[in-house]
Amino acid sequence: MNALYNLANCAPTILVVDDDKSIVEFLCSALEYKGCHVMSAEDGPAAIKMYKSNFTKIDLVIMDLLMPGMNGWEVLESMRIINHDLKAIIISGYQGMIERLEDFDNVSGLLHKPVTMEQLFDGIGQALMPESQQPLSSSFA
């Protein structure tokens, strides 16, 4: 099944969270180009506030791990309190915090920076795939 085809046809709403503005701009542009509805936040507290107000509309969260103030794991823990069924992809260039991936059943996978367009869209396609069609592994890259 082609993840790009599924992504184009389902027009998901995705919340992008990263403290690096250039990464947020890149991800948002790429996702909007593929027909996604995109929201963004540049830190943990803003992401939690946005998620709390919009969690019924948000299909997927794409989040950096290492951010000032609150790291990605702390943000995901807060989001899980709001909606235990959230789906998330972690994007990180830092290997030190990745070992916690297995602690989060809602994390669909991990993408390592720098992320290619193919990795991004394949990861999103897998994350949004119905559970019955999900691959056994929870890590993309």
- Model confidence at 41, pLDDT cuts 50, 70, 90, reads very high
For residue 83, is it within any domain? yes
For residue 94, is it within any domain? yes
- Model confidence at 126, pLDDT cuts 50, 70, 90, reads confident
For residue 137, is it within any domain? no
For residue 34, is it within any domain? yes
- Model confidence at 36, pLDDT cuts 50, 70, 90, reads very high
Please give the order of strands across the beta sheet that includes 88-92. 37-41, 13-17, 60-64, 88-92, 107-112
- Residue 88: what pLDDT? 93
For residue 37, is it within any domain? yes
Higher pLDDT, 132 or 84: 84
- Model confidence at 26, pLDDT cuts 50, 70, 90, reads very high
